[in-house]
A and B are shown apart, each in its own frame.
Chain A
Amino acid sequence: MTDTPPLPKSLGANPLLSQWVRIHANGCVDIIPGKVEIGQGIATALLKMAAEALEVDPARIRMVRPATGDSPDEGVTSGSQSIQDCGRALRHVCAEVRDLFRAEAAMRLGADMAELGLDDGTLIGPGNARLSYWELADAVSLARPATPGTRDVLRTGTDLPRIDIADKVFGRPRFIHDMRPDDLLHGRVVPPPRIGSRPAPGQDLAALAGAGIQVVADGAFIGLLSPDELAVERAATRLREKVRWDGGAPLPDEASLHDWLTTQQVDPVVDQRGEAAAPAARTLVHSFLKPFIAHGSMAPSCALACWAPEGEPHLAVWTHSQGIYNLRADLSVVFGLPPERIRVEHVEGAGCYGHNPADDVALDAALLARAVPGRTVRMQMSREDELAGGPFAPAMRVDVEVDLDAQGALSGWRHTIWSNGHSMRPGRSKASTLRAAAQIEGGAPWPIAINMPPATGGGADRNAMPFYDIPARTVTNNRLTVMPIRTSAMRALGAFANVFAIESMMDEAAVAAGEDPVAFRLRHLSDPRAWDVIREAARLSGWGERAAVEGRGRGFAFARYKNTGAYCAVVADVTCTDEVRVNNLTIVVDVGEIISRDGVINQVEGGAIQATSWALKEAVHFAPEGILSRGWESYPILRFSEVPAVTVHLVERPEAPPMGAGEASQGPTGAAIANAVHDALGLRITRLPLTRETLIEAMELGQ
C-alpha cells in the first residue's frame, strides 16, 4: 500500500472544486485563485498550472479577480507562498476536474477511461466519438470536495506571456487608480505626525479646508471629500501644513538607533540547537545594523468604498491589499458589522513588496464613505504619506559571536536580534491594526507588531538560524514591545539583515581559518542542493581566477530562503571609489520545479536589484518630531544608471516541488555586496546602507 499524499494546504480551508474552477457550456473556464496579482506575474503562472492540469488552451481561461465571498480564502499573498499554496491547490483541483469529465465521458461513450484521448477539453473515444467539457458542463457537478491522491499532470515547459502586460504597455485602465465609477467623490486624509498625536483643540478645520470641501473628522482622523479631485488634493496639502497637532509618542533619535534598539522593553525568544563539543579556540564578534526601510511603492496607495444608501448596513471595498479576507476581518471589527455584510474585492495596484499602506487606506476610504452613504469614495494617499506614514520594514540590530575550533572549523554560533516585529497585518488580532482604527475616537489601541511563528517562516528571526553545519547554534530574538515607528512585513522580512550578518561572518571566519570563502562554506554544508548553487555560482563568475585590481572587489554569499525554500548563491562585483558601485551580480537559484522560467528570472533579478538599492542607498530618516524622509529626494532609490548587470541561472529540478522565487535573492545580494566591499577595501561594513558616510565611518573606526 502506498501512502496517499495529503491535500495541498489551501484545499483544507476551501475544499470544494467549485470554489476554484468553473467550466462553462460556452467553452470558457473560470479559474478563481485566492492569491492576488501584485505585479509579480502570479496570475499568469497560476493560469498556466491550471491550463496544464485541465489540458485546455490557456486562451479559454479567465482569471477571476479575488473577492470575499466568491474566492477561496488563502490568507495573505506573501512569503513566496503563492505557487506552493495556490498553484499546488489549482493543479490538484484541475487535474481532478479533468478526471471527473473523463469519467463522465467514458460512461457516456461506453469506453474505458484510459483509452480516451484529450485535446483542449475534448475527450476523444474509439471511432473518433467526441464529448467536450463544454457539452458536459451541466452534467458534471463540481460542488464536491477535492479528494486526496496523485494525478499525472501535463507539463508544457513553455512560458506564457503575462496576461496583464498589454494593458500596461498601451496605457489602458488596469490599476485601481484608474477606476472612475459615476458620481465619484475623491477623498484625502491629513495624517498625524506621530503615533498618538491629536489635533490641537480650537481649530476650524472646515474653514481651513475651504468652500466645497467636506471635512470628516473623528478623533485624530481627519479626512476630506470633494467631487473635484484637484480641489480636495489642494485642500489636503493646505491642511497638512496648517493643522496643529498635540502630543504623540516621540520617535527615537536616528543617530542613536543602534543603542536605542538594545535599551527598549523586549519579549525575547531563544532557539537553541545542539551543544558545543569543545571550547572555542577563537571567537569572532560583530554587531550589524540595518535601518528602517520603506516599501516605496511607485503608486500611492488607493482604495474605493461605498456604503449601502439605506436599509441594513452593507460596505463594498475595492483594494490592492494582499489579504482581502484579513482586511475584511479588520473592517468588520472597526464597524461592528458581521463579515458577510462587507465585500472586499481585489483590484491591481503597483508592486507593494509587503505590507504597505494598502490596507490602511481601505479603512480611510470606508470611514470617508460612511459620511456619504450611497456614494463611492476614491481615497488616494499622498506621496509623502506613502513614504512617511505607512508601516516600514523594521530596523534590526544583529550581534553575532562565532566560535572556531583549533582546526578552523565552526563550532558555535550565537545570533542575537533586536527588532520590532515584522507583522502588523490586519486580520490576525482581536483589535484592528489599521492605522485609522487607532485614530478614531474610542478606537483600538496602537498595535505593536508581532513576529509570525517560525513554522510559517518567522519574522525578525527569518533565516537567523545559520543553515551551516555547526555543532551549537543559538538564536535569541528580542522583539521590541514598544513601537514609536510603525513596522510590518517587507519582502524577505528578517532574512535581509540576518543573511547580511551571517554571510559577513562566514567571510570573517574564512579569513580567520585561512581559507577561501567558497571552500569554507562548502566545508560546512551537507545539503547537495546548496552545494550545487554555490559551485555553479563560483564557476560562472570565475571565482578565484581574477587578478586583484585597486578599488575593485568580489564577494560571495549564499542562503536558502527561510531555510526551507529556494536556494540562492550570489557573486557581487563592485568598484569602490568614494562610493560603492555594483557592477555585476551573478546569481544561481534552485526553486525546484520551474513553473514560469521568465517569471522566476524576473523575480530573482528584480529582488536582487531592489536589494542592491536597500544595501547602497536606503534608510528611513527620522527625528523625535516625526519621519523626515518624505519624498524621493530624501528617500533615494537606485536609478537606471546605477543598476548592475545581473545574470540569473536556474538549476533544473523538474522532479522537486516548486518553490517561490520572489524573496530568495535579497539576503544573499546584500551580503555579497558587503563582502565585495571588504574584498576591495579591507573594511568590514556592519551598518547599512553602504553610503559614502558609512564608508568614511568604517575607515575611521578601522584606523
Chain B
Amino acid sequence: MPTYELEINGTPRAVTAEADTPLLSVLRTELGLSGPRFGCGAGECGACRVLVDDQSMPACDTPVWAVAGKAVTTVEGLGSESDPHPLQSAFLKEQAMQCGYCVSGILISAAALLRRVARPTEDEVRAALDRNLCRCGAHNRMVRAILAASAEMAR
C-alpha cells in the first residue's frame, strides 16, 4: 500500500492506505479523530466536511491520494476549549444547534467562507452553507453565530 504525507491540523502525518481510501476513513479510523462525521458517504450532507488548504471539502468522497501534500483541517484543528476559534465561541454563545451532528461540517464551511470573505452578508453566509444540511432547524442560530464571529474577528 502506498504512503501519503499529509498535514493534519498542523502536524505532518504519514498515512499508509490504498489510494482510493476516503479521507474520512483515514481521519476517523487511522487517526482517531471524531470531529468529521459520517452522514451520507456521497458528499451530499456536509457532516464530514474538512478544510483542504482553504477549501471546504466533503471528506467522505475525497480519496486520500487527492490530498497528499496538502493541509487538512478538521473541526478539532480550528480550535480547542482552551483556545477556541471565534466561530466555536460564537456557536457556544448562541447555543447554535440542536442535536449537533451537522455542526462540525458547518463550522468548517463557515471557516472557509471567513477565510475568503472577512465580513460576509447574511445571504453570503447562507449561500456558503447550502451544501451543509441541518435537519433540526437550527439554521438561523448558526447564521447568527457566524455573523457574530465575523464581526468579532474584524475587531
Contact = CB atoms under 8 A, between A and B. Distances in A.
Given A171-B74, A229-B29, A646-B140, A299 B47 contact: yes
B43 to A, nearest CB: 10
Contacts of B136: 39, 351, 606, 610
Q: Which are the 8 A-B pairs with shortest beta-carbon distances?
A: A171-B35, A39-B99, A609-B137, A606-B137, A168-B100, A350-B101, A351-B99, A171-B75
Interface string A150-175: 00000000000110111011111111
A350 B92 CA distance: 18
B103 A632 contact: no
Interface of A: 38-41, 161-162, 164-166, 168-175, 177-178, 180, 229-230, 233, 296-300, 348-351, 353, 380, 382-383, 598, 602-603, 605-610, 613, 631-633, 637, 639-641, 643, 645-646
A170 B81 contact: yes
Contacts of B152: none
A644 to B, nearest CB: 9
Interface of B: 21-22, 25, 29, 32-42, 44-45, 47, 74-76, 79-81, 84, 88, 91-92, 95, 97-104, 107, 123, 125-127, 129-130, 132-141, 143
B34 A166 contact: no
Given A171-B76, A174-B100, A631-B42, 10 more contacts: A170-B76, A170-B80, A170-B84, A230-B29, A351-B101, A383-B42, A610-B135, A632-B42, A633-B44, A640-B132
Which DSSP category, helix, strand, loop or mixed, fits chain B's interface?
loop
A455 B20 CA distance: 55
Nearest to A646: B140
A602 B138 contact: yes
A165 B97 contact: yes
Given A171-B75, A351-B98, A602-B98, A639 B133 contact: yes
A175 B76 CA distance: 15
Contacts of B98: 39-41, 351, 602-603, 606
Contacts of B40: 383, 631-632
16 contacts: A40-B98, A169-B75, A170-B88, A171-B35, A171-B74, A172-B35, A298-B37, A351-B99, A606-B137, A610-B136, A613-B137, A632-B40, A632-B133, A639-B130, A640-B134, A643-B139
A620 to B, nearest CB: 15
Given A170-B80, A299-B101, A300-B38, A641 B126 contact: yes
A404 B25 CA distance: 63
A39 B143 contact: no
Contacts of A180: 32
Nearest to A168: B100
B101 A164 contact: no
Contact of B107 (A161, A169, A175, A603): A169
